[in-house]
Structure 1
């Protein structure tokens, strides 16, 4: 099973990755370049 994690909380991200160790985990932040301003500030 493939899982996409989309959260701003890195601790939650690491915890979910540990729980889903046997699955293919994709992090949503990998799709967005670092340092780019958010498209919708304040959300």
Structure 2
């Protein structure tokens, strides 16, 4: 559901098959990278404060 909640796709696209599990997995991987980068940035700027 993260891709839907982050507005990368519409829920209806999951239901009607426009988007398959491979697409969802790729979006989740990209969101994982984005979240990790944001966490590293926060940590780095906090340390250099």
Bigger relative CO (Cα 8 Å, ≥ 6 apart): 1
Question: Does the pair score TM above 0.5?
Answer: no
Answer 1 or 2: which has greater helix percent.
2
Give the greater-gyration-radius structure (CA). 2
Answer 1 or 2: which has greater strand percent.
1
Q: TM-score, normalised by structure 1?
A: 0.33
